Chain A
Amino acid sequence: MADVTLMKTPAETALAQAYESAKTTLPGNVESRAEAFELFTRNGLPHRRVEEFKYTDLRALLREAAPFAGMPSADDAKAALQAAKALKGTQALEVPFVNGHFVRDAVDFHNLPEGIEIVPLAEALANGHDWLAKLSPVEWARQNPVYQLNTTFMADGVMLRVVGKVETPVHLRFVTSANSAVATATRILVLVEDEAAVTLIESHESPNGANHQPNDVLEMIAGDRSNVRHIRLNAEGDKALALSTLNAKVGAEAEFFSFNLVTGAATSRHQVFAILDGENTKARINGATMIKGGQHADSTLVVEHAAPHCESRELFKTVIDGESTGVFQGKIIVPHHAQKTDGRMMSAAILLSEGGAMNNKPELEIFADDVQCAHGATCGQLDEDLLFYLMARGIPRKEAESLMVQAFLGEAIEFVEDQDLHDALVAVVEDWLRARA
């Protein structure tokens, strides 16, 4: 075999340089960074011949790697948070990040709600902390290049521990305020103890016009009989390339719900890697995506039923307008011992325009012989007969389309039980539809 010299793309070269120059200044734990970067370098940015990235060719999409954002000044951070709009008004403990850096001053550490502990990640990485050993709860996620990049560059974040039933939701608010392109790599670790319950909100926003490159990872270990509701909003600016990963390991007899609403970013990819690690756990992972123009939104999830008697439901709804492209890749893995698994995955897309495209790839990997698993994928236009019915009552076409789109997405959003939060998400949908009309 002839010698092959691997050609690096300009972005890959820039990432290597960024790592070289940052590795001495990034906080602590150099080994895991080095290991992650070494794994990343073996294959470089994933491209369309890599099955998991077939529809989201990062090598082509990430032409230039933006410089990593520095720590904002106290004034800049304050101004950025004041201007933040995402899910404003929801009652929650705000844990804010500006340009990928935790804004310590915005959190009153002495008056945290009962049952919540917060440790700044940069500090923990620099000085050591017991909880660091709990990072990367989903072993196989380490093979993922997006995750490898986050591990390489993670500069800030928080570690959060939840004990008991916490009423106040925790809002992880991410704001990128820089007007020129920056990259960020945040890492959140959430440890939900046995029997604990919490609602976690995540919102991500940035200004239009800048090619920001956030790469965020939220990792979670949810204990036995825990109840976690995770609500995420991607409201990034129109030029952003937003990568995100949720790694969750859920214990026995627990309830786990994660919902991601996407309207933002030029390109986004949200990955969910979940392991149902104890018996009789119920997980529901939903997503709703609304894209237009030339947007590209990818939802990729892998759910492993690692214990018997677990139930999982995945429901992803995508609304595609303009020339935008949606991607859904979902895989349910059932190892041979996970008998009585009940898994159902559904992806449905509506194309509002001629030029849009949807790629649906549901997969089941089942080794057990006594399971119930199903998957489905649909892709279509709004029903003309239903539109006519609404219009025949005087409702103009765009408004009729909006009603039907809201109903379509509603099926994924309705599982958000917190009424304020539900209404805030519906308002995001309504805003998107109003901008379209």
Chain B
Amino acid sequence: MLEIKNLVVQIEDKRILNGLNLTVNNGEVAAIMGPNGSGKSTLSYVIAGKEDYEVLDGEILLDGQNVLEMEPDARAAAGIFLAFQYPLEIPGVASMTFLKAALNAQRKARGEDELTTPDFIKRVNAAATQLEIPKDMLKRALNVGFSGGEKKRMEILQMALLQPTFCILDETDSGLDIDALRIVSEGVNALRSPDRSFLVITHYQRLLNHIVPDTVHVMSAGRIVKSGGKELALELEANGYADYRESEAA
């Protein structure tokens, strides 16, 4: 379970999050929608632990443990996973080397044994097959020369391999064609389980047809301004964010 309490965050003296409160229960898929600049990506980065942000107030509790004091790698080992909106290209680092380093670092942090190479390869292959990722893609440097869709599939592959308990999908639908959207969504849906929760950040209702949320939250000016069920997404699609922008101005 993730609880965010009164989170206030700024970057370079600019206030981005203004006392944000949000709870995502185990097994829940929560969608966050909101206009550009409302602070959605900031929220995802702050949960994952990016340094550039200054947290002025509030807490982020993962199963009761405040993660704000933890380094990004410790948060990952504790179960937080951020699927990046723009996955980065890392020339010279082979995808397999990276996957193995990540998986074993997390296992080590949790006091588990490192995986043997055959066991590791078996797990990667299983995840890759499901996400229709060709093997030669895994032989290349991480994300280098990957298309937008390939990069997003690679993010979901990492998620499948690392088995986090709290997953953030930051505009995972951006840059995806219809087929890629289906593959990625199926990959995510396959990971849904009672002890894993998701925070799905998106601009569009379209993604939520594929990954059906339990709750939908509207974010504006650094706060959650409305929460509801999946029907709220349809309402937003029809009416836009105009109502919420007004509340921002008020």
CA distance A319 to B92 in the complex (A): 15
Q: Does B134 contact A (CB under 8 A)?
A: no
Contact residues in B for A399 (Cβ distance below 8 Å): 101, 105
B interface bracket (residues with beta carbon within 8 Å of A)? 20 to 34
Complex formed: what's the CA distance from A385 to B105 in Å? 19
When the two chains form the complex, which single residue of A384, A385, A388, A407 contacts B91, counting CB atoms closer than 8 Å? A407
Partner of B50, one of A388, A393, A400: A388
Beyond A388-B51, A389-B84, A403-B101, whether A397 also contacts B71 by CB under 8 A is yes
Residues of A within 8 A of B73 (CB): 391-397, 400
Out of A394, A404, A411, name the residue touching B162 (CB < 8 Å): A394
Give the docked Cα–Cα distance between A407 and B109 (Å): 24
Q: Let me know if A403 and B71 touch, CB within 8 A.
A: no
Question: What are the nearest 10 A-B pairs in CB distance?
Answer: A407-B92, A394-B76, A394-B106, A393-B102, A391-B72, A391-B73, A389-B88, A394-B105, A407-B93, A396-B73
Known A-B contacts A389-B84, A394-B77, A397-B73; the reply to A408 vs B92 at CB < 8 A is yes
Tell me, yes or no, whether B207 is within 8 Å of chain A by CB: no
B192-230 contacts to A, CB under 8 A, are none
Cross-chain pairs A/B with CB under 8 angstroms, 17 sampled:
A388-B51, A389-B84, A390-B101, A392-B48, A392-B81, A392-B82, A393-B105, A394-B105, A394-B106, A396-B71, A396-B73, A400-B73, A403-B90, A404-B92, A406-B93, A407-B90, A411-B92
A386 within 8 A of B: yes
Q: Does B187 contact A (CB under 8 A)?
A: no
Q: Are A395 and B101 in contact (CB under 8 A)?
A: yes
- With A388-B48, A390-B98, A393-B158 known, 8 other A-B pairs at CB within 8 A are A386-B90, A389-B90, A390-B101, A392-B73, A392-B81, A392-B82, A393-B76, A407-B141
Known interface pairs A388-B51, A388-B72, A403-B97. Does A395 touch B92 (Cβ–Cβ under 8 Å)?
no
A27 interfacial by beta-carbon distance below 8 Å: no
Shortest Cβ distance from A214 into chain B, in angstroms? 32
Within 8 A of A (CB), among B85-131: 87-88, 90-93, 97-98, 101-103, 105-106, 109
Chain A residues engaging chain B, CB cutoff 8 angstroms: 384-386, 388-397, 399-400, 403-404, 406-408, 410-411
Interface string of B34-71 (1 = CB under 8 A from A): 00000000000000111100000000000000000001
Pairwise interchain contact B109-A390, C-beta atoms closer than 8 A = no
B76 and A403 contact, CB distance less than 8 A: no
A389 with B109: CB separation less than 8 A: no
Measured CB to CB, the nearest residue on chain B to A383 is B88
- Count chain A CB atoms within 10 A of each CB in B73, B76, B87, B105 and give the residue with the most: B73
Instruction: Report chain A residues within 8 Å CB of B72.
Output: 388, 391-392
Q: How far is the CB of B160 from chain A (nearest CB, A)?
A: 13
Task: Say whether B93 contacts A391, CB under 8 Å.
Answer: no
| Most chain B CB neighbours (cut-off 10 Å) among A388, A392, A408 | A392
Cα A386 to Cα B87 with chains together (Å): 10
